[in-house]
Structure 1
Amino acid sequence: MKKTLLLLSLVAAPALAGEGKWTPQQVLELDPAWLKAQGLQVPPERLWDPKRGTGLLAGAVNVGGCTGAFISETGLVITNHHCVFSVIQEHSTPQRDLITQGFLAKNREEELPGKGSRIQVPRSFTDVTKEMFAVVPAGADDLTRQKALERKEKELVAECEKRPATRCRVAGFDGGVQFVLIDSVELTDVRLVYAPPRAVGEYGGEEDNWMWPRHTGDFSIIRAYSAPDGSSAKYSPQNVPYKAEFFFPLATEGVKPDDFVMVLGYPGTTFRALLADDMAERQARYYPRVVDVYGELIRILEEEGEKDAAGKIAVASGLKGLHNRYKNAGGQLAGLKRGRIVEKQREAEAAVAAWAETRKEYAGALKARTELLSLQAEKAKTFEREFLLDMLKMGAKGPSLAVTLARLAQERAKPDLERRPEYMERELPRLKDRLEREQKNFFAPADKRMFLALVRRAQSLGEGERIAAIDKHFGRKYVEKQVSAKLNALYARSKVMDLAERLKMAGETEAQLRARKDPLLDLGLDLAAEVVALDELRDRRAGANVRLMPEWRRAVMAHAGKPVAPDANSTLRVTFAKVKGYAPRDGAFYTPQTTLSGVMEKHTGQEPFDVPGKVAAAAEAKKYGPWVDERLKDVPVNFLADADTTGGNSGSPTVNGKGQLVGVNFDRVWENVANDFGYNPDVARNVNVDVRYVLWLLDQVEDADGLLRELGVRKAASAQESR
């Protein structure tokens, strides 16, 4: 690592239980005696070597919005079933339904490549705060500030990515208190090795999602490949398994209550630094709107999918994502209310403000807070329009792809460093992957109904929030028969949903796209104009935020007088925890482990509690093998810990004090969903697949002898069985 800057000096042993998503460098500043007392059995320097800028933490890898973990030196990675669902879907047909049946590669030749799948292995972290702010002109307005910072970020990334097979990014911490350049090697040949049947990987479905007790085998195993010389390479039969420097051996003894564990990974976004008014806006408007809109889209996909077997496969991935965000939003609302989180934040904010008023050096923080509150009030005026415009960009495939093609053509006409980040040359392979992959997710009847629902909502907006492109193409008043006819004609006359034509469009100029006279493209071009204007507005807001938030955050941290881990931002973090249960409500207590017997107790033979036959047969015969927990007299399935996790931690390795994998994180409990806004030790619990359930399925159900030997546990299993 070239150089680093601590976000906060951690001089005392924190009495924070599981709270805190700590950066690798911060781990080295935690009191080693405290860590040892908690249960860490390896030196902190083994977790992270500041001289090399790497360590055991780098065994946790970024798997495209999720986390994974190397579990062998031969490139095997364990992550969540839902994190590789798109790969499973990609290779599924009604005749070979891997989603339902699951998949096991008997040898490496049978492993299935994932189109567009990538794994990023962290290599170094460099503080670039001074370099970033040095480019902001004196007296710059907010838009100029943001543009200057964005330009510098692009330059730093471009320089970093001159190294082959490298993926870099600049991450901001605490609203701009610090900027760090993260350098990772990117592996692009990723193949599916094992996925359990859906009825295992999603056991309990949406009914059990975010709930406890849980009995879900939400894990899959993939493998990263490299060229024979060890360098990253695209898929090729000549590629060899990637040799991982750091990996987590499997702890066949598992865990028990009160055991120390660590959860490593790439938590996405948390909101603990938000002002109370920002939190209140999410509670009053954003999450209710997600519940409303996503709920309607879910109903559409479910109804249309039931009418057609191929359609059901096509909508499966999108439906899964919508369900998760929908239920998450409900949990956020319940948790915000239950924990009085907004009220507590308002009280904490007032305490910091009162403290700052007595200290001249923090006068700027008070002024910054006042202006941040004003910005939030201004943003609230156009909330509905912005929400729907975002949904049109990401909801139905038709308008979403049309907008993408329009923006791609417009941005490609600019020099690379002047483009929006998502349309730079470095992103084009990902864009192409998406343009191809979405064909597998397209089911016309469902797509049209979703688009119709979004048009109806747009046509009901007030005068100050109209979406001009929708008014132009569908009129200002919603008459279902008329709008539906226009929409059907739009799809019928368009080539956007033809894969071959869409890929041609991706290489055309804006003039060429307009010359096609394609009605869906024309709509996309009109929507794109409004997207551009919204992007500029949001850039201006971002510039204001990076001007104001650091001032306020410095006061917050100074007032705290103790370690304050920064909000999650999809960078590598570790949280320390203990295996423990919790009391969800008065008079009830949940133990921290569930078992195979519990799986069978829930079994009804109907979704979402329909245990696959081969799993049920092994369970009913009590074929536990060496994976039985002597205390439980059963095979452990899931366990709880008080780790500080969020979205992005899906697939995170849960490891013991020796650095061995004991589980795979996949969820939080319902009472803990609002953990994104504030950590509550009473209910902060993450849900993990127990490694012994993973091994039981591979051993007693799948007879995956080769895979177990590669994982180094087959010999151990035989020894235990002989006792």
Structure 2
Amino acid sequence: MMLRSLRSAVATTASLAAVGGAMAVMAAPSAAMADEGMWTFDNFPVQTVNQKYGTHLDQAWLDRLRLASVRISGCSASFVSPEGLILTNWHCVVGCSQELSNPQQDYVKNGFTARTREEELRCPGQTAEVLTEIVDVTARVQAAGQGLEGAAFNAARQAEITKIQNEACAGDDTFSCQVISLYRGGQYSLHKFRKYDDVRLVFAPENQAAFFGGDPDNFNFPRYALDAGFLRAYEDGKPAETPTFLKWNPEAPKEGDVTFVSGNPGSTSRLLTMSQLERLRDQQLPVTLIQNSELRGRLLEYSLTGDEAKRVSFDPVFGLENSFKVYYGQQAALTDPEFMAAKRAEEDELRAKVAADPNLVQQIGDPWADLARVQTTATELYLPYRQLEASAGGGSQLYAWARTLIRAAKNPTMTEAQRARLSEAVGAETPVSTDMEEIRMRYWLSKTREYLTVDNPQVKAMLGRESPEALADRLISGTKLTDPAFRRQAVGMTVEQLSAADPLLAFVAGNDQAARAIADRWAAEVNAPTARAAEKVAQARFAVYGTNQYPDATFSLRLSYGDVRGWTYRGVTVPAFTYMGGLYERATGSEPFNLAQAFADNESKVNKEVVYDFASTNDIIGGNSGSPVVNADGEVIGAAFDGNIHSIGGAYGYDPELNRTVSVSTAAITEALRNVYPNPRVLEELGVR
């Protein structure tokens, strides 16, 4: 399940090891193989798709799909009515469900249904964005850093990017503008979005319906999950007018039907060099796995202490478990000899072609050697950078607010308008579990001491004479940042005033200089030379293979194509479809295979012949969660929510024989809205009778 990063699945070590071997069959860099690719909308291979599938796609078709596609926090979605109704995954709205819940009303466990527009509840901090414009700004961005190195290079590039974004949005808060790096810096695109800041929850099923089978089924198939939810975009207190939307098709697709997935894949690393992949394998992924595993254990232990603890920890544990499994699968791919041999052969082929062209060598030098040298520096800086900056606070929301406020107070260039927006953002009514916050702070402080050692100057400065446990207790129990009114008031304070007003703010202020120092070193000594060298690798790819390539994923809008299809692995054929009747057959009565209450109560009403979930060859990754799956007519027929076990290594490569996208069908969603969670209002809005 693809969460806001990537919901994945429990798998045995043997199964995960097999993933790497399966991944070893990869496309030649010169052209996408089979249905491979997360393509930008301005470089989608329309002719290739039309020839292969007999479709009649054109620019108008692409434009309609782009303008109906929605990016929400960490996920993808789509407009499915002219009144701002948004289809996405349940696991993309479960955070909202949890924030709106309380000990008396648990919308995660029991689900949420708004019977009227007035009952639709605003999701704290949620936004919805629609990509309205794409402009190539490569020349401007690359020229800005010409002749510069390190911090100066970063500053010049960032200044130009900020200038481009400000020019494009021109101070209009209804839009957001973002310069996206593509092909690891080989190209830069300005993406302009129509933005909706008022997004409300319309429908979410019970968690047991959406996540039936739990971790054992996760990242596997067959699946029986109603991983779907509805939001609505509002503007000026009214449902937004969204004339470009996807027509709802309540019929399930057939095997072999062409499918398109439009969404925002989060991050892939298919264009990384071998030295970069090896550092991921040898340092970054192992550290991440170890720390995630320990934090998961602490949160799971806490979840067993009572009903309220179980409620507030559900979504954090859910996300942490799944991200852990993704990293585990990625590590399995990178430790598979066959997979890495294929990656090395791919790199060797490109380097040989470059070496055969003296003009190209003169132009780009040896960026692979440059990147290898950067990895030495990155290895040295990674742990302090991770502990003091990148993962500081261990995921604590209170710590994140404190750091935001301290850094805003230190920023003399912030305008009144920017401070007003910050005040609104940090002052949103967001429930905070102080128990969970303390667990995260204790964990982070203890791991920082462990990884950087007791005698490290920054560790000494952070802890003083306190233990991680005592310090975490003092900071969390004493902070006022749980109060939204105080957070809004704090936006106007100086650093000195903030430090005097609150112990957590004082702690962050006292340690921020060290955090910023290591962040500056990472930016200057790792990010800047990586960006320069990666641009040259991209130039090499363009020179050797042309521009008919898709870039790595960057949580920007992409379109993949494929068809509805199962797969065969080691003599076992997995069909493309599951049916609603299969849910009842698979149910055992014991977690995680117990029926959701509404499905149990309404079994006699459910049409068990309806297609529940289906598999397709579309190439996706985390961030694609909630992406609309559409047919050749541009109608929505499902919502992507997962990949199969063979797609775990999809961050590094794609195997057309085995990689599959898993989606919940609109047929199943329609059936559920009719007979399990009756909602005639939404069905009518979807045009379903």
- Same fold by TM (over 0.5)? yes
Is 1:637 aligned to 2:612, yes or no? yes
Structure 1: distance between partners of 2:201 and 2:620: 26
User: Do the aligned partners of residues 491 and 194 (structure 1) sit closer, same or farther apart at CA in structure 2, a change above 3 Å counting?
Assistant: closer
Q: Structure 1 residues 206 and 429, CA, compared in 2 at 3 Å: closer, same or farther? A: farther
Q: Give the SS at the match of 1:392.
A: coil
What do the CA deviations read for 1:147-203 (whole angstroms, capped 9, x no partner)?
Answer: 111111111111222235111111111122221111111112211111111111222
> Match for residue 625 of structure 2?
650
2:149 matched residue in structure 1: 141
TM-score scaled by length of structure 2: 0.90
2-structure distance, mates of 1:610, 1:673: 26
Change (3 A) 1:708 1:461: closer
Matched, 1:572 2:557: yes
* Residue 81 of structure 1: how far off its partner (Å): 0.7
Q: Relative to 1, partners in 2 of residues 1:66 and 1:487: Cα closer, same or farther, differing over 3 Å?
A: closer
The answer to whether structure 1 residue 687 and structure 2 residue 627 are counterparts is no
Shift of the 183–387 alpha-carbon distance from structure 1 to 2, 3 Å rule, reads: same
The amino acid across from 2:440 in the alignment is M
After superposition, where does 1:414-429 map in structure 2 within 5 Å?
414-415=413-414, 429=421
3-state SS of paired residue (1:84): helix
Task: Note if 1:157 corresponds to 2:165.
Answer: yes
For 2:211 and 2:590, the matched residues in 1 are separated by 13
Assess, with a 3 A threshold, how the Cα gap between structure 1 residues 686 and 428 changes in structure 2: closer, same or farther. farther
CA distance in 1, matches of 2:547, 2:179: 26
In the alignment, which of 513, 535, 542 is matched to residue 529 of structure 1? 513
CA deviation profile, 1:449-477 (whole Å, cap 9, x unmatched):
332222222222356x976443224259x
Equivalent of residue 132 in structure 1, options 141, 147, 151: 141
Matching residue's letter, 2:536:
E
The aligned residue for residue 401 of structure 2 is 401
Q: Flag the 1:495–1:110 CA change in 2: closer, same or farther, 3 A.
A: closer
Of residues 504-513 and 91-100 in structure 1, the stretch that sits farther from structure 2 once superposed is 504-513
Q: Who is 1:470 aligned against?
A: 459
Q: Are residues 1:592 and 2:587 paired?
A: no
**C-alpha separation between the residues in 1 aligned to 2:397 and 2:617?**
39
* Structure 2 counterpart SS, 1:117: coil
Give 2:606's aligned residue.
Answer: 623
Q: Distance in 1 between matches of 2:478 and 2:452?
A: 31
Partner SS state of residue 68, structure 1: strand
The answer to whether residue 71 in structure 2 is matched with residue 79 in structure 1 is: no
Q: For 1:710 and 1:193, locate their aligned partners in 2 and report how far apart those are by CA, in whole Å.
A: 12
CA distances 1:332-356 after superposition (whole Å, capped 9, x unpaired): 1223345833332222112211221
SS at structure 2 position matched to 1:460: helix
Q: Cα deviations across residues 187-226 of structure 1 (Å, max 9, x unaligned)?
A: 1221111111111122222232222221111110111122
The SS at the match of 1:93 is coil
Q: Cα offset for 1:562?
A: 7.5
Change (3 A) 1:380 1:432: farther
| Alpha-carbon distance, 1:65 to partner | 1.7
How many pairs were matched up? 656
SS in 1 for 2:366: helix
Q: Is the 8 A contact 1:121 1:185 kept in 2?
A: yes
From 586, 589, 593, the equivalent of 1:609 is: 593
Equivalent position SS for 1:604: coil
In structure 2, give the amino acid aligned to 1:120: E
**AA of the residue aligned to 1:657:** A
Measured in 1, the distance between the counterparts of 2:33 and 2:420 equals 43
Q: What is the aligned partner in structure 2 of residue 230 from structure 1?
A: none
Structure 1 residue 454 corresponds to structure 2 residue 448: no
Deviation larger for 93-102 or 527-536:
527-536
SS at match of 2:36: coil
CA distance in 2, matches of 1:708, 1:378: 57
Partner Cα separation in structure 1 for residue 366 and residue 51 of structure 2: 43
- The answer to whether the 8 Å contact 2:177/2:191 transfers is yes
1:267 equivalent in structure 2: 265
8 Å CA contact retained: 1:79, 1:652 = yes
Aligned alpha-carbon RMSD (Å): 2.5
**Once the two structures are superposed, what CA deviation does each residue of 1:671-706 show, in whole Å capped at 9, x if it has no partner?**
211111111112211110011110110011122122
Could you list the runs of 5+ residues in structure 1 that have no partner in the other structure? 1-12, 49-53, 227-232, 417-423, 629-633, 715-723
TM-score (ref. length: structure 1)? 0.86
Answering whether residue 274 of structure 2 is matched by residue 276 of structure 1, we say: yes
After superposition, the C-alpha distances for 1:112-138 in whole angstroms (9 at most, x for unaligned) are 1112221111111111122223333x5
Q: What is the distance in 2 between the residues matched to 1:431 and 1:388? A: 27
C-alpha distance in 2 between matches for 1:40 and 1:431 = 53
Mapped to 2, the partners of 1:365 and 1:87 lie a distance apart of 48
CA change 1:703–1:415 in 2 (3 A) is: closer
Q: Whole-Å Cα distance in 1 between the matches of residues 394 and 369 of structure 2?
A: 34
Structure-2 change in CA distance of 1:531 and 1:473 (3 Å): closer
Give the whole-Å Cα distance in 2 for the aligned partners of 1:577 and 1:380: 39
The aligned counterpart of 1:229 is: none
**CA distance in structure 1 between the aligned counterparts of 2:436 and 2:289, rounded to whole angstroms:** 19
Deviations 1:424-458 (A, max 9, x none): 96596367435545x51x32333323322222222
Q: Measure how far apart 1:67 and its partner are.
A: 0.7
State the match for 1:678 in structure 2.
Answer: 653
Aligned to 1:296: 294
CA contact (8 A) 1:398 1:447 kept: yes
CA distances 1:33-92 after superposition (whole Å, capped 9, x unpaired): x423443644322223xxxxx432221111122111111112111001111122211221
Paired letter, 2:409:
A
2:24 is matched with none
Paired with 2:213 and 2:426, the residues of 1 have a C-alpha distance of 30
Distance 2:436 2:531 in 1: 41
Q: Is the 8 A contact 2:408 2:414 kept in 1?
A: no
Code of the residue aligned with 1:280 in structure 2: it is E
Give distance in 1, aligned partners of 2:605 and 2:336.
Answer: 41
**8 A contact 1:135–1:149 mirrored in 2:** yes
Taking a change above 3 Å as real, the CA distance of residues 26 and 616 of structure 1, as seen in their structure-2 partners, is same
Q: 1:332 to 1:425 in 2, by over 3 A?
A: farther
**Structure 1 segment 140-539 matched on structure 2, within 5 A:** 140-162=148-170, 163-226=172-235, 233=236, 236=237, 239=238, 241-338=239-336, 340-363=338-361, 364-389=363-388, 390-411=390-411, 413-415=412-414, 429=421, 432-434=424-426, 436=428, 439-440=430-431, 442-462=432-452, 468-475=457-464, 482-516=467-501, 518-539=502-523
Contact 2:213 2:593 in 1 (8 A): yes
Pick aligned residue for 2:529 from 535, 544, 550? 544
Specify the code of the residue in structure 1 equivalent to 2:480: K
Contact 1:89 1:317 (8 Å CA) reproduced:
yes
The answer to whether the 8 Å contact 2:605/2:675 transfers is no
Do 2:394 and 2:440's aligned partners in 1 also have CA atoms closer than 8 Å? no
SS of the residue aligned with 1:316?
helix
Which amino acid in the other structure matches residue 499 of structure 2? R
The question of whether the paired residues in 2 share the 8 Å contact of 1:366 and 1:552 is answered with: no
Mean Cα deviation higher: 655-664 or 531-540: 531-540
- Structure 2 counterpart of 1:387, which letter? R
Shift of 1:641: 0.8
For residues 245 and 179 of structure 2, the distance between their equivalents in structure 1, rounded to whole angstroms, comes to 26
Alignment-derived partner of residue 676 in structure 2? 701
User: Given the superposition, is the C-alpha separation of residues 599 and 427 from structure 1 closer, same or farther in structure 2, using an over 3 Å criterion?
Assistant: farther
Determine helix, strand or coil for the equivalent of 2:78: strand
Match of 1:589, SS? strand
In structure 1, give the amino acid aligned to 2:35.
G
For the 8 Å contact 1:644–1:686, the answer to whether it is kept is yes
Preserved CA contact (<8 Å) 1:18 1:642: yes
- Contact kept? 2:39, 2:560, Cα under 8 Å: yes
How many angstroms apart in 1 are the aligned matches of 2:320 and 2:424? 23
Partner of 1:39: 53
